[in-house]
């Protein structure tokens, strides 16, 4: 017999104690913790010069990242304490809230670097597109789980496709093509895990890719990014500057790197060196060896997340794990690919590593949900 106690939506089950010792759960916690610590060290290394120039102290960005990490740690463990079934109940409200927040950005968003992506001001800023990733995964997992085996594929998937398309269009209006691509990857993963026919997914992917290409080339600065991606050294002093400096930093580390805190990229040669291009600083300071370790950690998330999704107790948990895993891994691929020059620069942060508040807190919350599913996988279903 299994005993359960419940307080304010939190649950403690006798089956959870041994579940917490499952390898998938422990590995997930270990990998996420390692990535966060790597991020904290590298943010200090990459931002100290910029912080000294702007604030008169090398610690400003590091201290903020530490605060964000503390809040993210609370979110990570809170996500493990809340019953999974709770997220099914709030899936639709969360979907609407995220959509309204994306609309609010277009009306009253804070602009920076030619994009309007934030709400709030000063130290209290929030990026709704990060919430949209989480909201879409939870909504899609809930709806597809509820409609499992009911009606046609059209009936089951159209609401998910509508919400995903609406989010993508609103995010593209900010504009933020990188985040829009991540949203598509996360949504597509949930649909695939739910059993959508591969032929249908390929057709949708081709349509989405064609639409993305049209959007990418319809605006001059996006078209310039594509050109710079194909021939970065031809525009090394203009649109290709960031890519070229990223190549120089990444290749300058050779096998073992220049050492922590010894990166020339941190002295202002590389734009966004502690945010979108922090992987270039990792490559320069820790070399090929350190870069491979970071890539391997994200690969581990992919493997662990896939195994968790496969062994989940319920359809909702399985789809939730698949969506979160695809979100984290695809975002890492897009970020690292842009730094390495195999993908266009789109401006998405490296999960758990790049400097930032909203992104770090929400990805840690999402990882906490994934760890929650991992902890429960294989335990007796008492609900």
pLDDT value, residue 122? 66
End-to-end Cα, the chain, rounded Å: 13
Q: Please name the residue ranges forming H helices in the chain.
A: 16-19, 23-55, 60-81, 84-89, 91-108, 128-146, 153-172, 177-193, 198-218, 220-230, 241-252, 278-311, 315-340, 358-376
pLDDT value, residue 37? 97
User: Running along the chain, 383 residues long, what does each successive block of 10 average in pLDDT?
Assistant: 34 42 85 97 95 94 96 96 93 97 88 72 82 98 94 90 95 90 96 91 87 73 69 75 88 91 88 94 96 98 96 95 98 95 89 94 97 79 45
pLDDT value, residue 115? 67
Tell me if residue 195 falls in helix, strand or coil: coil
pLDDT value, residue 98? 97
pLDDT value, residue 174? 87
Q: What angle do CA 292, 263, 297 make, to 5 degrees?
A: 20
pLDDT value, residue 11? 38
pLDDT value, residue 227? 67
Q: What angle do CA 350, 346, 330 make, to 5 degrees?
A: 50
pLDDT value, residue 9? 34
Token pair of 274 as six digits: 């502690």
Task: Centre a 10 Å sphere on the Cβ of residue 310 and count the other Cβ atoms it contains.
Answer: 12
Alpha carbon 50 to its chain's center: 25
């Amino acid at each position: 017999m299994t005993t359960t106690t419940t307080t304010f939506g939190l649950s403690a089950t006798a089956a959870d104690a041994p579940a917490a010792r499952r390898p998938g759960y422990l590995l997930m916690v270990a990998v996420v913790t390692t990535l966060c610590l790597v991020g904290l060290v590298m943010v200090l290394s990459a931002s100290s010069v910029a912080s000294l120039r702007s604030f008169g102290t090398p610690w400003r960005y590091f201290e903020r990242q530490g605060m964000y990490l503390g809040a993210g740690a609370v979110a990570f463990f809170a996500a493990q304490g809340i019953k999974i079934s709770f997220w099914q109940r709030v899936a639709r409200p969360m979907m609407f809230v995220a959509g309204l927040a994306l609309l609010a950005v277009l009306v009253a968003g804070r602009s920076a670097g030619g994009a309007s992506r934030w709400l709030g001001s000063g130290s209290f800023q929030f990026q709704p597109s990060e919430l949209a990733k989480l909201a879409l995964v939870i909504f899609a997992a809930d709806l597809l789980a509820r409609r499992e085996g009911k009606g046609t594929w059209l009936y089951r998937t159209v609401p998910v496709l509508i919400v995903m398309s609406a989010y993508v269009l609103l995010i593209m209006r900010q504009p933020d093509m990188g985040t829009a691509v991540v949203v598509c990857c996360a949504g597509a993963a949930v649909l695939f895990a739910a059993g959508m026919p591969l032929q249908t997914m390929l057709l949708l992917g081709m349509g989405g890719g064609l639409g993305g290409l049209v959007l990418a080339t319809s605006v001059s600065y996006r078209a310039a990014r594509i050109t710079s991606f194909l021939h970065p050294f031809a525009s090394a002093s203009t649109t290709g500057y960031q890519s070229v400096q990223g190549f120089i930093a990444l290749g300058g580390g050779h096998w073992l790197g220049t050492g922590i805190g010894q990166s020339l990229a941190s002295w202002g040669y590389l734009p966004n060196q502690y945010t979108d291009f922090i992987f270039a600083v990792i490559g320069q300071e820790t070399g090929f060896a350190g870069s491979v370790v970071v890539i391997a950690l994200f690969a581990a998330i992919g493997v662990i997340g896939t195994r968790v999704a496969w062994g989940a107790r319920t359809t909702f948990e399985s789809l939730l794990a698949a969506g979160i895993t695809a979100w984290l891994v695809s975002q890492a691929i897009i970020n690292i690919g842009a730094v390495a020059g195999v993908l266009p620069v789109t401006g998405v942060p490296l999960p758990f590593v790049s400097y930032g508040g909203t992104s770090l807190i929400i990805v840690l919350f999402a990882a906490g949900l994934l760890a929650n599913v991992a902890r429960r996988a294989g335990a007796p279903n008492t609900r």
